[in-house]
Amino acid sequence: MGYYNQNYPPNPHRKKGNSWIPLVLGIVIGALIVSIAVPRFLEMNEQVKTGSAGNNSNDVITQQVVSLNLSTRITEIVEVVSPTVVGITNIVHHADFLEQQQDSEAGTGSGVIYKKDNRYAYIVTNHHVIEGADEIEVLLSDDTVLEARLLGTDLFSDLAVLRVDGDKINQTIEMGSSDNIKVGEPVIAIGNPLGHMFSGSVTQGIISGTQRTIPQDFNMDGRADWQAEVIQTDAAINPGNSGGALINMDAQLIGINSMKINQEAVEGIGFSIPVDSAWPIIDELEKTGQVKRPYIGVEIYSLEEVPRLEWDETLNLPKDIEGGVYVWSVEPLSPADKAGLDRLDVITHLDDEQIMNMIDLRKILYQEKDIGDEVEITYYRDGEKRTTTIVLGVQR
């Protein structure tokens, strides 16, 4: 039932009290509560804001410190390493129509000073950088130009060693190790991309992959002749960077950059020859001028290059054969000739290790065997399985 008022007069018997007193008390109590609670609430709110702002400030400061430390470290590394990275100029002689000698630059690249003795300094670069050169010049970081002598070069590893007068050179690079590098580890590439006008260029990146295998076609016949084992990095490696240095955060050399390995220009993918696999080759090139590898004296091709029909009709191979190499020719008086191998023999095993293609055969010979080793070869001739023992020779 709702409120209803018919304008009756006030009840004469109702006692009138002091109705203003409760109102005043309510106002006073409310004011006290507000005066106490509101400042406290504001204080707590300010503390929350201050705390949040403080945390963000710490995050920003931490990020700035980390970024500053990394940038400072890179600057220090570049300052230390740059004098050891040089430019390489490949000079080719040719005659003009008056039969007078003219010189021209066949190309430029980079190199790394890795050693110095009482007379000379030694530089490692890529084989393809100095390939075909009649003269080689080295450009130091202070723009001094030195004539270099080629001590040795190797096609399979894409490495070459040069020697220059050591009087003008005061510093060599510190050798690191590529065996313990990890994916995600920061690295620096230093070299001369696009020629000497950009000498000493620095790019930063990370290790994108280790122990990558990249097929190499040396004679450009469309068939892989070798598989290079390399470090993958996203640090920019451009033409002219070949032969330059890949550096870790300890200012140590961990790789020799190679543009030729990455024959197709792909952004964010560069390759470097691991220093631990390069060092024995560098040492051998410096001392002997060549890398002596075992050889058997045959011209071979991968069985996979032969149509399957020929496996049955020409080579008479059993159905269970999945791969191998076939002999196209045998060098007279070579280890293969002495062991009785002949044209169209199909080699499937070396010392019980299966051979699927010529890269497999070369990797076993070059990485697991030594000159003078006796190796048992399993092969098929006219469908008949045979074995023979061969004494590995040396390529002359």
Active-site residues, by number, are 128, 158, 242
286 DSSP assignment: H
Sequence-separated (6 or more) residues with CB below 8 Å from residue 354: 323, 348, 360
**Cα–Cα distance list, 147 to 62, 114, 144, 188 (Å):** 49, 17, 10, 28
The token pair at 261 is: 């390995």
Among 163, 158, 78, smallest CA distance to 114 is for 163
| Tally of CB atoms within 10 A around 195 | 15
What whole-number distance in Å separates Cα of residue 184 and Cα of residue 321? Answer: 42
Beta carbons within 10 angstroms of residue 321's beta carbon: 15
The answer to whether residues 276 and 242 touch, using CB atoms and an 8 Å cutoff, is: no
Q: How far apart are CA 181 and CA 165, in angstroms?
A: 34
| CB-based burial, 15-37: b 16+ in 10 Å, e otherwise | eeeeeeeeeeeeeeeeeeeeeee
User: With contact defined as beta carbons under 8 Å apart, do 158 and 129 qualify?
Assistant: no
What gap in Å lies between CA 7 and CA 188, rounded to an integer? Answer: 97
Residue 117 identity: D
Distance from C-alpha of 251 to C-alpha of 246, rounded to nearest angstrom: 9
Distance CA 250, CA 81 (A): 10
**Tokens found for residue 172:** 């060599």
Residue 102 near residue 93, CB atoms below 8 Å: yes
338 class by beta-carbon count within 10 Å (0-12 exposed, 13-18 middle, 19+ buried): middle
Q: How many residues does the chain have?
A: 396
Cα 145 to Cα 86, 90, 110, 120: the distances in Å are 10, 13, 13, 15
